[in-house]
Amino acid sequence: MTPFKPYQPESRPGETMGLVERVKRAVTDDAEEQYTYRCGRCESEFESTEAHMGKVECPDCGSHDLRTVATG
Query: What is the contact surface with Zn ion in residues (CB under 5 A)?
Result: 39, 41-42, 44, 58, 60-61, 63
Q: Is 35 left (phi over 0), alpha (psi -120 to 50) or beta?
A: beta
Q: In angstroms, give the least distance from the CB of 20 to Zn ion.
A: 32
User: Which residue number, 27 or 42, has a Cβ lying nearer to Zn ion?
Assistant: 42
Q: In angstroms, give the least distance from the CB of 56 to Zn ion.
A: 11
Q: In angstroms, give the least distance from the CB of 66 to Zn ion.
A: 8
